[in-house]
Structure 1
Amino acid sequence: MTRGLREHTLPGAAIALIEGGRPVFTGCWGERDRESAAQAGEDTLFALQSISKSFAAIAVMMLVEEGRLNLDDPVERHLQRWRLPPSDYRHADVTVRRLLGHHAGVSSAGFPGIAEGYESISLIDGLNGIISPFTEEQEIYWNEWSLDRDWPVRITFRPGEGWRYSNGGFGILQIMIEDLSGETFESFVAKRIFAPLGMTRSTFFPFKDADLAEPYGPEGKRRRRYRTLCAAAGGIYSSIRDLAAFACAEINLPTGRGLLSAASVAELWRPIGLADKSGDVQFEAALGHLRYENAGRFNIHHSGGTIGWRSIYSVFPETGDGFCMVMNSDQANPFWIPLIRRWRETIFGKS
C-alpha cells in the first residue's frame, strides 16, 4: 500500500475488509494532510461523494414503509417546493423508482461544488441551474473527465427508455424526502441511518472537524474545499470505520434485521435496467445501488468521486464479503480499481 501510494503520488488511503458480515481488517496509510504531515487514521473523515446515493435510497424506502409514497408514484405528486420545467415528455412518467435507478430521463446536472463566497446558493437554485462560477481547477477537472454541464435539471429524453446517471435526479429526491418528512435530508439521515448504525464519525458538515482529510489532485497538489450542493447525491463525509459499518449493514439487510424489512431490501436491490459497462462487466441499475453478477453471486456496490476524492464500497450479501476504501485524491482510480479486482479474485477466483 505504501509503495502504491508513492507510485501514484497519492497522499492517503484507508481500507476495510469484511468477512461473514463483520469487519475483519481495517488499515490506514499515508497522510490526511500533506502540509502538516498528519497521518490518516480509522476516524479520519473522507468525502464519500456518490456513495451518499445508497443512503438516499434507504431513506426513500423508509418513507415507503411508512406509507408516505409508492415507488411508482410520479415524483411531482410529493413535491411542494419545486417542479420539473415544461417538457415534451410526460412528467407523470418521472417516477420515484426511475429516479432512484437513473432511468427517469432527467439531465445529469453534475452539481459542481460550491466555491467559498457563494454560500447562499441552495439546492433549489442548483435544480434551476444557478451555480457558483467555476474555479480554474474545476474547469480543468470537468474538462478532463468530460463531465456534463447540462443544468438546469429537466427531462431530456423519454422516462424509462434507458440509463443516464443523474445527480439532478437525486436532487429531486432530496427535495421529496424533505417535503414528505418535514425535516432536512441531513437531519433525516443522521437520525434514521447514522445513529442506528453507530456511525458517530459521519456527517454532512465536516469543515470544522480536526480529523478531516484534505483533498488533492495531480502530482499531489492540494485542492480547494468545496461545499456539496446536493447532500443526497454526494454530501456525506465519513471514516473508514463508519463506512465499514454501513457496508456490514448492507450485507445484513436481506435478513430483515436492521434498517428495512426484507421485502423492502429486495425492492431496493431489484434491477430496473442496464447501467454502464466496464470492460466485460455489465452493471445493472438498482435503486441507489449498482449490481453485477460474479461467479454466480450478485454484488451490490457504489463508488464516489469528485475533485479531490475517491471512494468505494462493494459487498456480496450471499457470502458476507465486503471491501471499502476511501482516498483523498482524484488521481486514485489506477490504484483502487486493481486492488478491488484482486480482492474479488482472492474470494472467487478469476472469472
Structure 2
Amino acid sequence: MDDGDFSQDWVRLLGHLDRQVSSGLLSPDTATLPDLMSSYQVPGVGIAVGHLGGQVWAAGYGVTGGETSTPVTERTTFAACSISKHVAAFGALRLVQDGVLDLDTDIREYLTSWQLLDRAGRQPTVTVRQLLAHTAGLSDTWYRGYPADRVPSLSQVLDGSGPTTTAPVRATLLPGSRFRYSGSHYCVLQQLLVDATGTPFEELMRASVLDPVAMVDSSFDERFPHQRSHLVARGHHLGGTAIPGGWRTQPELAAAGLWSTPTDLLRLDLEIARAASGHSELLGRDLATEMWTPQIPGGSYGLGTEIGDRAGCRRFGHTGLNVGYTCFSYVWPDSGFAVAAMTNSEDGWELLASLRAAADRRYATRVTTAPLGDVSGRYVLRDDYPIDIAVTDGHLTFSAGGQQPVVLRADQDGRYLHPGLDLEIRFLPANGRPDIVELRQEGVTQTARRS
C-alpha cells in the first residue's frame, strides 16, 4: 500500500466518524473530524497511520493554540502523556536484554540514591517487572505537572518534598497481588534506570529508544518544548481554556514527560510488533512478547503496554491524559497497521474514541476459532472449577461449577454467549487442537484449559 492509498483511505474515514462508539459498530450518526473538533472544543489534532512495510501517512488538523497559533502539521509536537510509560518500558527491556537489569530482581539491587518504603518505614520486596506492570502496589497518584518556574526534582517527587504537590511514593498494597495503575511505579522506575546506568534519564532514553527507533521529533528533556515552541501544540483545559504558559512541565519523565508526534509514536509500536515476530534488531522476541502479555491473569496490561484482546479486535499500545492533552498509539499486529492520534485538549477523549473505533473496523482481524465439533470435553478454570462442553444436535451445551447446563448462542466473530449471564466464550487452538476456552465477564478474560 503506497502513501496515496493511506491518504485516500483516511480522508474518507475522517469524513464519516461515528459519534456513538460504545458498540464498536458504525451507526448512522456520523460526523467529520472537524465537526467533532468543534463539538468537543479541541483546537488541534495530529494523526498518523503506518504499516510494518514502512509506509506512513500523517496529517495535522486545527491549530496549535496560543498567541502565535499556527496550523497543526505532521511535525507538530504534543505531550505524549502516559504513552511515556510505553516508551520507557521499551528502554528498560533493552537494558534487561543487555544484562544490566533483571525483570525479577528486587529493585533494591539497583536503587542507590533512594529507597522504597511502606507506611511503617519498612522496605518491601518489589521487582522491576512489578514496576513495569503496575503491580508493585505503589501510591495511587496522577501527576498533573508544574508551571515552568517551580518544577521539583524527581527526588523531591519521590519524597513528596519541596514544591511537590503529590504525596511521597510509598508501597501501600501487597506487591504482586493485583494491578493498580499509577504513575508512581514509573517514577521509581525512572530513578532505578538512572541509578543502574549512571546516565540522566533523557539521555538514556535518547540513546536506547528515540534514536534507534528514529523518533526524530521526540524528547524526554524538559527543555525540549521551549527549544521548538513554534512546533508545540499548546494544551487546553475542558471547555477550551488555554493552559497558562502553554503547557505544564512533568519532572516525572518516565510516567508522563515525553514530547512526541503521532508519527514517532507509531514507529515504536511497529518496532515492538516486529520484535514480537522475531524481526527486530533492537529487542528480542521473548521480551517483546512480554510487553503485550497480561502480567495478571485475566488482566489487560503487560509491561508498559495496554492490551486489547477480544474476539474481532486484537491490538496493543497505550493511551494518555495529561493536563491539557489526550492521545493514543496502537498497533494491530495481525494486520500490521498502527495508528496514533494526539490532541491539545482534555476534551479529546470522545474524538479519540471515534478515531480508534474507525481504526478497529479498518485494521482489526478476526480471531481464529476451533471447529465446533472438536470442542467437546472437560476444561479446568482452576482445580475446583471444571467446565464441561458438549455438542448435541448442532448446539453447544455449557456447564460450569455445578450449574445447570445451558445452550450457548452463537454470535459474530466466533463467540458464544450465555443466555442469562454476562459471559462471552470463545475456543482457541493450542498444539493443533482446541484446548483453550476463554471466558470474558465484565471486560475480564479468564482462561480454562482442557483437562
Q: Which TM-score applies when normalising by structure 1? A: 0.87
Q: Report the alpha carbon displacement of residue 229 of structure 1 after superposing the two structures with TM.
A: 1.5
Relative distance call for 1:221 and 1:236 in structure 2 (3 A) is: same
The Cα offsets for residues 172-221 of structure 1, whole Å up to 9 and x where unpaired, read as 11111111111011001111211112222111222221211111122321
Q: Report the alpha carbon displacement of residue 88 of structure 1 after superposing the two structures with TM.
A: 5.7
Aligned counterpart for 1:251 among listed residues 260, 266, 273: 273
The Cα offsets for residues 47-86 of structure 1, whole Å up to 9 and x where unpaired, read as 0011011111111111111212211111122100001124
State whether structure 2 residue 156 is matched by structure 1 residue 125: yes
The Cα offsets for residues 278-315 of structure 1, whole Å up to 9 and x where unpaired, read as xxxx8512001111213366421101111100110011
Deviates further, 82-91 or 20-29: 82-91
What residue number does 1:144 align with?
none
Tell me if structure 2 keeps the 8 A contact 1:202–1:238: yes
What residue number does 2:332 align with?
316
Letter in 1 for 2:57: F
Q: Report the alpha carbon displacement of residue 34 of structure 1 after superposing the two structures with TM.
A: 4.9
State whether structure 2 residue 255 is matched by structure 1 residue 239: no
Q: 1: distance between equivalents of 2:364 and 2:210?
A: 31
What residue number does 1:114 align with?
146
Deviates further, 188-197 or 248-257: 248-257
Letter in 2 for 1:187: E
Q: Give secondary structure in 1 for the equivalent of 2:234.
A: coil
What residue number does 1:36 align with?
68
What residue number does 1:207 align with?
226
Question: Alignment length, in residue pairs?
Answer: 328
What residue number does 1:219 align with?
239
Q: Report the alpha carbon displacement of residue 318 of structure 1 after superposing the two structures with TM.
A: 2.5
Q: Give secondary structure in 1 for the equivalent of 2:64.
A: strand
Tell me if structure 1 keeps the 8 A contact 2:266–2:330: no
Q: 2: distance between equivalents of 1:294 and 1:23?
A: 27
Superposed, 1:1-351 pairs within 5 Å as 1-87=33-119, 91-119=123-151, 121-130=152-161, 132=163, 151-204=167-220, 205-209=224-228, 210-224=230-244, 225-254=247-276, 255-273=278-296, 284-295=300-311, 298-348=314-364
Identity %: 27
What residue number does 2:383 align with?
none
Deviates further, 125-134 or 1-10: 125-134
Q: 1: distance between equivalents of 2:64 and 2:109?
A: 44
Q: Report the alpha carbon displacement of residue 3 of structure 1 after superposing the two structures with TM.
A: 1.6
Tell me if structure 1 keeps the 8 A contact 2:93–2:287: yes
TM-align CA RMSD: 2.2
Structure 2, unaligned runs of 5 or more = 1-32, 366-411, 414-451
Q: Which TM-score applies when normalising by structure 2? A: 0.68
Q: Report the alpha carbon displacement of residue 269 of structure 1 after superposing the two structures with TM.
A: 2.4
Structure 1, unaligned runs of 5 or more = 135-148, 275-281
Q: Report the alpha carbon displacement of residue 37 of structure 1 after superposing the two structures with TM.
A: 3.6
Q: 2: distance between equivalents of 1:348 and 1:56?
A: 26
Letter in 2 for 1:123: L
Structure having the higher helix fraction is 1
Q: 1: distance between equivalents of 2:266 and 2:363?
A: 18
Relative distance call for 1:89 and 1:122 in structure 2 (3 A) is: closer
The Cα offsets for residues 241-272 of structure 1, whole Å up to 9 and x where unpaired, read as 22232232222122241321112212232211
Relative distance call for 1:133 and 1:97 in structure 2 (3 A) is: closer
Tell me if structure 2 keeps the 8 A contact 1:18–1:25: yes
Q: Give secondary structure in 1 for the equivalent of 2:38.
A: helix
Deviates further, 15-24 or 229-238: 15-24
Q: Give secondary structure in 2 for the equivalent of 1:183.
A: coil
Q: 1: distance between equivalents of 2:235 and 2:213?
A: 27
Q: 1: distance between equivalents of 2:75 and 2:157?
A: 32
Letter in 2 for 1:338: S
Deviates further, 3-12 or 29-38: 29-38
